[in-house]
Amino acid sequence: MNSTKKIKLQLTILNFLEFFVFGAWLLSFAKYMGATMGFSGTQIGTVFLTLGLASLIMPGVMGVIADKWMSPNKLFALSHIAGAGLLVLLAKERSFEAVFLFTLLYLSLYMPSIALDNTISYCILSKNNLDVVKTFPPIRVWGTIGFIIATWITDLMGWGINEKQFYFAAAASLILGIYTFALPDCPVNKNAQKSWAQALGLDALKLFLDKKMALFFIFSMLLGASLQITNMWGEAFLHDFAKIKEYADSFIVRYNGVVMSLSQISETLFILTIPFFLKRFGIKNVMLMSMFAWFLRFGLFAVGSPVGIGAVAIILSMIVYGMAFDFFNISGSLFVEKEVDVKIRASAQGLFMMMTNGFGAMMGALGSGMIIDMFTREGHRDWRLIWTVFALYALVITVLFAIAFKYKHNPDDEIQVTH
């Protein structure tokens, strides 16, 4: 095997395992807490709040450490080895307080590792004189594939409603941590000039003085809440159909994790269509398509069921997820890249992620948990009404964005998409 193929294979394994670890438990976590642990909707939402909390400052903090004091390889490896231990501890806990604490500690290590994964990949590709823009996307796709396969294994083995999912994720995390030591090392840049304010994206806060950018970041937060809702409650929703005798043995109920993973498959396909849609319709309209797709995602869940036409609605919901996710997250990132000064471009991208995966995720976690409890009576959740509320939320965001956000599309603009 020549050196180029070896490097590509090494990074493919790295990205595969990075998201394999996440897929082993993320989508089934709320289902586990509700069905097995008996947590309320508000408690589940509070636990998922940790994902937002971990995304607010930890990626910036770890980025500065990797820039100035410890190579990203070692930091990444140690994060996953320590993370494996925290997952084992999480598997043993039964109280709400302990589950919250260990989830927060684990995600404080895992969420920054996503950025470190990119840093390591870019570093190794550049050191070997490979074009990052052309070479990395096919490698990164294997991360999504890893997420899907891990979700399938957890679901098919029946681990989604017990603690075995965390032992499974811990084993993968430990393997990944050890494997990373075998990769070519990326040196520490002791002369790095990035400040803590820059690392945390604080120098980009002045963008809020621009009305257009302020509106964009506010709507980014609101859309981030939608993503958290679907990550939290999708499997729990499908699993609850098991309480209805006529649905209990249906494929969608028995293998709800496999069905939910169709969303990630759709995501990998829709990303290929982004250049066409951006060129033809412009960034504002593409983002509006994303928002309307969120409305469809939730609305189709509201009318869905595991059999017949209801099953068609659920499958269609999985398909539109790809548009809902990709058309905002990627086109939004491109909008930031195009609109801000090059001097604060990195910080602005960090601010975009902070608004979506940080504040947006926190809002979605707490808000959805309260909505769930509001429409739960004697242990029975009125999912049709719950998803209708979420759909109306997405529709209101769509209408407000169409009215408030002003942007003129120039079809001659050159669009470059990387993933």
The DSSP string of 49-99 is HHHHHHHHHHHHHHHHHHHHTS-HHHHHHHHHHHHHHHHHHHHH--SHHHH
135 and 213 in a common domain: no
| CATH number of the domain bearing residue 112 | 1.20.1250.20
| 405 or 1, which is more confident | 405
In a domain, 243, yes or no: yes
Residue 64 pLDDT exceeds 60: yes
209 and 180 in a common domain: no
- Distance between CA 117 and CA 72 in Å, rounded? 8
Q: What is the pTM of this model?
A: 0.82
> What's the structural domain count of the chain?
2
| 335 or 198, which is more confident | 335
264 and 341 in a common domain: yes
pLDDT-wise least confident of 85-89, 356-360, 408-412: 408-412
100 and 21 in a common domain: yes
Identify the domain boundary among 152, 184, 216: 184
Among 389, 270, 399, 400, smallest CA distance to 322 is for 270
Q: Which of the given ranges, 129-133, 186-190, 317-321, 376-380, has the highest pLDDT on average?
A: 317-321
In a domain, 74, yes or no: yes
145 and 172 in a common domain: yes
Residue 231 pLDDT exceeds 90: no
In a domain, 262, yes or no: yes
| 111 or 331, which is more confident | 111
224 and 144 in a common domain: no
| 6 or 406, which is more confident | 6
Identify the domain boundary among 184, 212, 241: 184
- Looking at residue 419, its pLDDT comes to 39
pLDDT digits (tens, 9 = 90+) for 169-182: 999 999 999 999 99
pLDDT digits (tens, 9 = 90+) for 15-33: 999 999 999 999 899 999 9
Contact in structure between 117 and 18 (CB atoms under 8 Å): yes
110 and 37 in a common domain: yes
167 and 238 in a common domain: no
- Looking at residue 16, its pLDDT comes to 96
In a domain, 414, yes or no: no
380 and 263 in a common domain: yes
In a domain, 417, yes or no: no
Residue 262 pLDDT exceeds 60: yes
In a domain, 193, yes or no: no
- Distance between CA 328 and CA 172 in Å, rounded? 30
pLDDT band for position 116 (cuts 50, 70, 90) = confident
- Structural domain boundaries, residue 83: 1-184
Where do the H-state alpha helices sit in 241-360? Answer: 251-254, 256-260, 262-270, 274-303, 308-339, 345-353
Residue 276 pLDDT exceeds 60: yes
Residue 345 pLDDT exceeds 70: no
Where do the H-state alpha helices sit in 128-273? Answer: 132-156, 164-180, 196-199, 211-240, 251-254, 256-260, 262-270
List b or e across 85-124, with b for residues whose CB sees 16 or more CB atoms inside 10 angstroms.
ebbbebbebeebeebbbbbbbbbbbbbbbbbbbbbbbbbb
pLDDT over 90 percentage in the chain: 49
Mean pLDDT of 138-159: 91
| 205 or 292, which is more confident | 292
380 and 306 in a common domain: yes
- Looking at residue 414, its pLDDT comes to 46
333 and 228 in a common domain: yes
In a domain, 146, yes or no: yes
- Distance between CA 86 and CA 93 in Å, rounded? 11
In a domain, 104, yes or no: yes
| 393 or 118, which is more confident | 393
122 and 251 in a common domain: no
Q: How far is CA 19 from each of CA 80, 117, 146, 176, 252, rounded to the nearest angstrom?
A: 12, 10, 6, 10, 24
